[in-house]
Structure 1
Amino acid sequence: MAYSAPIFYGYVYAYINIVILIFSLAIQAVALIHCLTQRGDGFQAIGTLPKGAWAAILSVCIVLTLLVSGSIGIFSLIGIGAALVYLLDVRPGLKDLSDGKGFW
């Protein structure tokens, strides 16, 4: 009987899942570490969620990615989305605020 996929496709699939999981956790960890090292009043100054809310969101996403998802799953994708919103929206605002340029 002939198979349409090579026998080793399971190993390739597992390695791709591990790479995506590590990438997801790295992005979420960078966002969480950046959030925890910023001043709390800066978040209010740029008009976003408070520091505690961002820290809670990013922490819960990391925990759910590790415990529930395990690989490419809905919690991993939600965690990547939350981390990217933080890194691409909140982080530049905090940087502009600390540079004295203001948040536009």
Structure 2
Amino acid sequence: MALSAPIFYRDVQSYIELLILIFSLVVQAVALIHCLTQRGDGFQAIGTLPKGAWAAILAVCIVLTLLVSSAIGIFSLIGIAAALIYLLDVRPGLKDLSDGKGSW
């Protein structure tokens, strides 16, 4: 009876990795789409990398996540980190700039 439980653990592991991969790609795609729809001069105003650099970083991360990496591979983790840095640091700065609430 105890030997029957581990039979399906690989199926569960593959489903969890698939969910992580989908989550990773969604977060990266949201960050890339947001980056591409912003004005380029806003990035310079908040003192971060230019729009082209952010777009290139996020696009390369998505491509590497799709082609090279597994769900919890190094490229997927780097892609999630880059997308989260963009979404949690750059995006609020751009939002404050467009709303007129920034300190500049």
Alignment TM class, shorter chain as reference = over 0.9
Q: Distance in 1 between matches of 2:6 and 2:79?
A: 33
For the aligned residue pairs, the C-alpha RMSD in angstroms reads 1.5
Structure 1 runs, 4 residues or longer, greater than 4 Å off: 2-5
Q: Distance in 1 between matches of 2:103 and 2:85?
A: 16
The alignment of Structure 1 onto Structure 2 pairs a total of residues equal to 103
Which residue pairs with 1:51 in the alignment? 51
Which residue pairs with 2:68 in the alignment? 68
- Calculate the TM-score normalised by the size of structure 2: 0.94
Give the 3 Å change call, closer, same or farther, for CA 4–78 of structure 1 in structure 2: farther
Q: Distance in 1 between matches of 2:4 and 2:103?
A: 55
SS of the residue 1:63 aligns to: helix
Is the 1:69–1:75 contact (alpha carbons within 8 Å) kept by the matching residues of 2?
yes
AA paired with 2:35? C
Q: Distance in 1 between matches of 2:94 and 2:68?
A: 32
Please list every run of 5 or more consecutive structure 2 residues that lacks an aligned counterpart in the other structure: none
Measure how far apart 1:5 and its partner are.
Answer: 5.4
Give the 3 Å change call, closer, same or farther, for CA 79–51 of structure 1 in structure 2: same
Give the 3 Å change call, closer, same or farther, for CA 66–103 of structure 1 in structure 2: farther
Q: Distance in 1 between matches of 2:77 and 2:64?
A: 11
Which residue pairs with 1:19 in the alignment? 19
Q: Distance in 2 between matches of 1:84 and 1:69?
A: 18
Give the 3 Å change call, closer, same or farther, for CA 48–16 of structure 1 in structure 2: same
Is the 1:68–1:75 contact (alpha carbons within 8 Å) kept by the matching residues of 2?
yes
Please list every run of 5 or more consecutive structure 1 residues that lacks an aligned counterpart in the other structure: none
Is the 1:58–1:79 contact (alpha carbons within 8 Å) kept by the matching residues of 2?
yes
- Calculate the TM-score normalised by the size of structure 1: 0.94
Measure how far apart 1:60 and its partner are.
Answer: 0.3
SS of the residue 1:101 aligns to: coil
Q: Distance in 2 between matches of 1:80 and 1:94?
A: 20
Which residue pairs with 1:102 in the alignment? 102
